[in-house]
Structure 1
Amino acid sequence: MNKHMTYYTAEEATELLKFMINQLAPKSRNNIKSMLARGQFFIDGKAVTQFNHPLKKGQKVGVLSNEGAKKTAALEGVKILHEDDDLIVIDKEAGILSVAGRDHAEDTAYRQVTKYVQEGNRRNRIFVVHRLDRDTSGVMIYAKTEEVKEKLQENWHTIVKERIYTALVEGVVRKPQGKIESWLTESKTMKVYSNDYDNGGKHAITHFKKKQNSANYSLLDVELETGRKNQIRVHMEEIGHPVAGDKKYGARTNPLKRLGLHATTIAFTHPSTGKVVRFTSQAPKSFLKLSR
């Protein structure tokens, strides 16, 4: 459990702000509204900032102390979206490695989150469930125990119900939606190639929907039916619309000075509760601006 979190149980159906004003008296209404705006109130492990969020009878509200809020704010390029005894879900900025690469001195999301969970107990650890490329931003999961990590990884294809990315791609995508299916193989130079027949590679399926486009770029919702290495990047190149900034896979422009790829949504069956949980991160405004 997070030592900086205090829990309060609603004895009747009510609204969040009203409930917290009663629970945290004599704190002022403005003080509590500031805590709400800073994301210090958690329901079912998720930070809630909506003052009139409905509470059910028996529902618990976790309140992150000011000290805990400062420690969370101290994270650079990483935001905690959810935390419980099994998992910690983050929103990673572009430019940060998920785990250590060749330069072991470089700060990573893994290192920062490890430091965060060890504030309460030096023996606490986190375990990598999946990764995002350095230049891909968005939602990512770490497990808090090796058992949970293995449970998630071994059943990844059945546990994960939804995995959606926002992609800024070059050119005007004509189709409003589509499906890309191929077999992916990786070369000795670490580049992934796509084949439209089964050549022994890994079967990959990607679905896309166009959200909007400008004269030079299109914004797509991309859903993975399979999760292969560089799958979206390879498939976007295959349809003639490489991800912006992705020189490795055919892009000619780099308007964002990063990869135009953001992990927007992941939904999966929670390993302990058995309930489907869903976590989202809004696409960067720069993606929207370039595709208008």
Structure 2
Amino acid sequence: MDEILPAVLDEAQEELLLDEDDFEGSTSSRIDSTSDELYEHYRVVADKGQQLLRVDKFLINVMHDTSRNRIQAAADAGCIHANGQAVKSNYRVKPGDVITLMLNRPRFDSTIKPEDIPLNIVYEDEALMVINKPSGLVVHPGCGNYNGTLVNAVAWHLRDNPDYDPNDPTVGLVHRIDKDTSGLLVVAKTPDAKTKLCAQFFHKTTRRRYQALVWGNLQEDEGRIEGNIARHPKDRMQMAVFPLDSGVGKPAVTHYRVLERFGYVTLVECILETGRTHQIRAHMKHLGHPLFADERYGGDQILWGTRSSSYSSFIRNAMALCPRQALHAKTLGFQHPTTGEEMDFESDLALDMQQLLDKWRVYLKGMQK
């Protein structure tokens, strides 16, 4: 691969060609070059030793979180420029070329501003906070979610703390959970706390247990799912599982244990060895048991059960009760970054998920009569 040195890399994850890792942003394409004024959103300068290379191939080498099809679409819309002029996908990049992404709207101000949003704080001290996040709350600003996030809420909560800057990457979120997943996560209030907590996640010494309602009646009471996780080659809003020796994606391991069976769905506990994007959702679909009501992974369809109208009505009502993937980050454990104390936290299931399980329990009793 030719060496390419980017002169400027746009760190704002709101761009057309850059998808959020947790896929919490808008899914709609916003390429539009009809405006008279264009704004630079991304810039890269070809190295002096750059060999002639199509601009779409050139950009796919530096814009790692996008696809060649999306780059080609941007070029077709006149949004890819070389040295100030719009070019098509077959333009050949030369040494010293300045390649830019131009859109008809200014760059979004990604500054994190405090917002008065309620937080369910499970624990807090001078070094960290443990928060029980409700479903529907995005954790970090991104494409389509520029405010109203958990990070904005934390900034408000700590607005009088002179040592906490919400725009300083050395503090803040240590890990993420999906927008429509409820449950526990930890926020670091100091650089030292974030460094030490991140190291624990990296070395897999944290303790995380999730509860999920999945489609189907699992054959085994417990098991281990292992497979690399990467973006789906045909649907970049999904993650997919690939063989360990495929060279595609990052290794991921999920352990599961059956907690309760409802005939057509099963409540499982999932323990993560790794923390990949959508790991539980992708692994359970790979196993043939997508999460109940998980629209992105096909769990919003009736995948198990009868074809009766009464059952269909029951499922519709169940999904209306919990209209999101039935997944909750129930426990979180780690070593305190300052004191060294082992700390473990547990949260009750979110109300919508608890009501969903109760509904299935009533249905199961009716089946057994």
TM-score (norm. length: structure 2): 0.55
Q: Which amino acid aligns with 1:128?
A: L
For the residue of structure 2 that corresponds to 1:151, the secondary structure is helix
Residue 130 (structure 1) aligns with:
175
For the residue of structure 1 that corresponds to 2:340, the secondary structure is coil
2:197 to 148, 152, 158: 152
- Structure 2 gaps, min length 5: 1-115, 167-171, 303-317, 362-369
Return the offset for 1:98. Answer: 0.6
For the residue of structure 1 that corresponds to 2:251, the secondary structure is strand
Distance in 2, Cα, partners of 1:257 & 1:179: 28
Q: Which amino acid aligns with 2:326?
A: G
Distance in 2, Cα, partners of 1:185 & 1:104: 23
Distance in 1, Cα, partners of 2:196 & 2:186: 13
Alpha-carbon spacing, 1:195–1:104, altered in 2? closer, same or farther (3 Å): closer
1:201-280 matches, within 5 Å, as 201-251=249-299, 252-253=301-302, 255=319, 256-280=322-346
Distance in 1, Cα, partners of 2:147 & 2:293: 23
RMSD between aligned residues: 2.0
2:126 to 81, 85, 89: 85
Return the offset for 1:123. Answer: 5.2
Return the offset for 1:101. Answer: 2.0
Return the offset for 1:288. Answer: 2.6
Checking the alignment, whether the CA contact within 8 Å between 2:237 and 2:296 is kept in structure 1 is: no
Checking the alignment, whether the CA contact within 8 Å between 1:181 and 1:205 is kept in structure 2 is: yes
Structure 1 residue 121 corresponds to structure 2 residue 161:
yes
Q: Which amino acid aligns with 1:264?
A: K
Q: How many residues are paired up?
A: 217
TM-score (norm. length: structure 1): 0.69
Structure 1 residue 111 corresponds to structure 2 residue 152:
yes
Structure 1 residue 193 corresponds to structure 2 residue 259:
no
Higher deviation after alignment, 78-87 or 210-219: 210-219
Alpha-carbon spacing, 1:203–1:291, altered in 2? closer, same or farther (3 Å): farther
Distance in 1, Cα, partners of 2:268 & 2:136: 21
Checking the alignment, whether the CA contact within 8 Å between 2:333 and 2:345 is kept in structure 1 is: yes
Larger radius of gyration: 2
Return the offset for 1:196. Answer: 3.1
Cα deviations by residue, 1:136-167 (Å, 9 ceiling, x for unpaired): 00001110022321222234233633110000
Q: Which amino acid aligns with 2:154?
A: V
Return the offset for 1:102. Answer: 2.0
Return the offset for 1:193. Answer: 1.3
Distance in 1, Cα, partners of 2:255 & 2:328: 15
Q: Which amino acid aligns with 2:281?
A: R
Q: Which amino acid aligns with 1:124?
A: Y
Distance in 2, Cα, partners of 1:160 & 1:82: 20
Structure 1 residue 286 corresponds to structure 2 residue 326:
no
Q: Which has the higher strand share?
A: 1
Q: Which amino acid aligns with 1:230?
A: H
Cα deviations by residue, 1:83-124 (Å, 9 ceiling, x for unpaired): 011101100000000111224553111111210122x33553
2:140 to 80, 87, 99: 99
Distance in 2, Cα, partners of 1:159 & 1:272: 19
- Structure 1 gaps, min length 5: 1-73
Structure 1 residue 177 corresponds to structure 2 residue 222:
yes
